[in-house]
């Protein structure tokens, strides 16, 4: 049985079943194992993801599920936090009610934590396996 969860509406048409995920385009609830969202930007200096809340970008998708997968275009990776704020001011006509900055702690190298990374060839890797083919990204999010 595939992992079940939620996905942002903009990413719902991707082949998540082919990646072993049963995702629905909706806000998250307490029973979702996986949440897949886009990110407004990523900050290289701190490894921080930036999320701008809105009707089509529910914050619950990145905050409630146990596992969160964020999709961010390489063009939206900025060097510093100040650059992320400048990007938000330039692109968003009005700042949303919430802009969330999400950073994680680094685990020791011997940790058995699960990690996920997406490479430009769309092959997903976790600590226990590598080779799952990720769905094609929409052109607006492609690298």
pTM of the model: 0.68
Residue 108 has pLDDT above 90, yes or no: no
- Please list, in sequence order, all residues whose beta carbon lies within 8 angstroms of the beta carbon of residue 124, skipping any fewer than 6 positions away: 19, 116, 117, 118, 130, 132, 133, 134
Is the backbone of residue 119 left (phi > 0), alpha (psi -120 to 50) or beta? beta
Edge-to-edge, what's the strand order for the sheet holding 21-25? 21-25, 3-7, 34-38, 67-71
| Tokens standing for residue 66 | 């146990």
Q: What are phi and psi of 129, to 5 degrees?
A: -155, 160
The count of residues in the chain is: 143
What is the reported pLDDT for 125? 36
**Share of residues in the chain with pLDDT > 70 (%):** 71
Q: Are 34 and 69 in contact, with CB atoms under 8 Å apart?
A: yes
The separation between CA 100 and the C-alpha centre of its own chain, rounded to angstroms, equals: 12
3-state secondary structure of 60: helix
All structural domains of the chain: 3-108 (3.40.50.10420)
Over residues 34-61, the mean pLDDT reads: 91
pLDDT per position as a tens digit, 52-106: 988 888 888 888 888 889 999 999 999 999 999 999 999 988 888 889 899 876 5
What is the reported pLDDT for 53? 87
């Amino acid at each position: 049985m595939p992992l079940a969860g939620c996905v942002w509406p903009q990413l719902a048409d991707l082949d998540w079943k082919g990646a072993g995920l049963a995702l629905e385009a909706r806000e998250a609830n307490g029973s979702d194992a996986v949440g897949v969202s886009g990110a407004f930007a990523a900050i290289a200096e701190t490894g921080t993801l930036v999320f701008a809340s809105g009707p089509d970008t529910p914050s619950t998708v990145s905050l409630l599920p146990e596992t969160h997968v964020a999709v961010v275009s390489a063009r939206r990776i900025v060097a510093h936090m100040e650059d992320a704020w400048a990007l938000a001011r330039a692109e968003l006509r009005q700042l949303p009610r919430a802009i969330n900055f999400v950073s994680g702690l680094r685990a020791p190298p011997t940790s058995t934590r699960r990690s996920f990374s997406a490479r430009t060839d769309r092959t997903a890797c976790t600590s226990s396996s590598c080779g799952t083919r990720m769905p094609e990204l929409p052109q607006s999010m492609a690298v």
